[in-house]
Amino acid sequence: MIQKPLQAKNWRFTPEGDQCLIIRFDNTLAETDINRLCLQTAQSIANAKLPGIMDIVPAFNCVGIHYHAPAWETAPYQTLCQTLDALLGNKQDTTTAINSKHIEIPVCYDPELGIDLDFVAQYCQCTPEQLIEWHTGTPVRVFMLGFAPGLPYMGMLHEKLDIPRLATPRSRVPAGSVAIANRQTIIYPNSSPGGWHIIGRTPVALFNPSQPPYALLAPGDTVQFKAISTETFQSMLQNNEYPST
């Protein structure tokens, strides 16, 4: 059966199949504010321990709820939407604490690893040294994980670091590559195609499918990048060292 979206006062619910719904927020808010609301909403729903909820997935500007339909009886989608609307209240909850951690991630910005460093610096009208200073100067927030297992979308970067993605994505980007685009930064957990500008590489493993919680980072975490030398990068890579939390 095709479900119609249910409209709430500050958000709306839309069905995605018969056991998933999406909560979308008022897009008149700033992007970072919407993301914060997504994280707080996901935390509020997790705290409520509603029956039949199998997974809660906060994204950049929405929240996905995977649920077991039989747990919600005869009209699971409508009943769950009504329950969520009552839970979240008549306005966005800006007080729910987000379970998060702060992690320092080392990055080697050597041009041999950060193959786009010089190009990005030229595009942003700064020196490579200034670019590195901006990238490491302020902690960034993990907005969401996506594209590949454990890949974090983080921001916002310095306003000068506003560069579009590559016109043609690369067919292969090395694991650990740190890249930027559109004032955001990501880390490729594994070797994969990629269309962002590579400015460095980290020796830190971001995803381990055999060790829970599998992904090093989670939405809501904050990351502080730290510049390291090529020698330190190679040493940490060989010794499988992990960042401090």
The CATH number that applies at residue 111 is 2.40.100.10
Which residue range(s) make up the domain with 54?
A: 6-88
Q: From the first residue on, what is the mean pLDDT of each consecutive set of 10 residues in the chain (245 residues)?
A: 48 94 84 87 93 96 96 92 86 64 97 98 98 98 96 97 97 98 98 98 94 93 98 91 51
> Residues 82, 117: one domain?
no
Query: Could you say which of 88, 111, 128 is where a domain stops?
Result: 88
How far is it, in rounded angstroms, from Cα 226 to Cα 66? 37
Distance from C-alpha of 29 to C-alpha of 31, rounded to nearest angstrom: 6
Indicate the pairing of strand 62-67 with strand 20-25: antiparallel
Residue environment code for 45-68, b if the CB has 16+ CB neighbours within 10 A, otherwise e = beeeebebbeebbbbbbbbbbebe
Q: Name the residue among 55, 54, 180 with its Cα closest to residue 115.
A: 180
| pLDDT score recorded for residue 95 | 58
Interstrand relation of 222-228 and 140-145 (parallel, antiparallel or unpaired): antiparallel
Q: What pLDDT does residue 1 have?
A: 41
Strand ranges (E), 80-221: 102-108, 140-145, 152-155, 170-173, 177-181, 184-187, 192-194, 197-201
**Are residues 143 and 35 both part of a single domain?**
no
Domain boundary among 88, 123, 152: 88
The pLDDT value recorded for residue 242 is: 54
- Are both 106 and 84 inside the same structural domain? no
pTM of the complete model: 0.88
The pLDDT of residue 126:
98
User: Does some domain include residue 228?
Assistant: yes
Helix (H, G, I), strand (E, B) or coil at 99: coil
Domain CATH for 32: 3.30.1360.40
Check whether residue 206 and residue 233 sit in a common domain: yes
pLDDT (0 to 100) of residue 96: 66
